[in-house]
Structures are given as C-alpha cells and as structure tokens.
Amino acid sequence: ARGGLALQCATFLRNKKYVVPWIGDATNKDNSHTIIVNWRGTKGIAEARVLAKTMGITTQRIVNYDYPKKKVDFTVVLGKNWK
C-alpha cells in the first residue's frame, strides 16, 4: 500500500513539473508526518518552501542539510498523513 502512495505522490509532483528521478522505500515506515529533506542548505530553502506549499505540508516539516554532492535537491519522506 505504501508503494502505491509513493507512486501517487510522484505522479502528483511530476504533474506539477517536478523531476522525480526515482521512488524508494524509507527506512522508517512509521513516520506520522511527511517531511521534505532539503539537501541544498540555504540555497534550497525557498524552493523547499514552495515544494511544501505545493504538497500541503507545513514548512516546519522541512529538514535542511548542506550536502552539495547529493544527486537530488530534495527527498520527500511520506508520512501517514500523506493523502
């Protein structure tokens, strides 16, 4: 069932013109809230906020890291609250 939700989320984001290069399983499947991991540090904060708004997620659920070697800008970890 979770894989179905991930596919739904990826389709939703792709329809909003986001690039979703892959879908994977989270290590912790008991997250109650969806989070957005911003791998671009301060450079990605504004775009992470737009992504959060697009997904209906509070900006308090954005986790910021400065990891420029990461191949993606953001990782979305779906929680039980994702619809």
Per-residue pLDDT reduced to its tens digit, 62-77: 999 999 899 999 999 9
Q: For residue 32, what is the DSSP state?
A: S
Strands 35-38 and 74-77: antiparallel
More confident: 27 or 52: 52
CA distance 16 to 12: 7
Query: In sequence order, what E strands does the chain have?
Result: 35-38, 62-64, 74-77
3-state SS assignment for residue 9:
helix
Say what the pTM is.
0.88
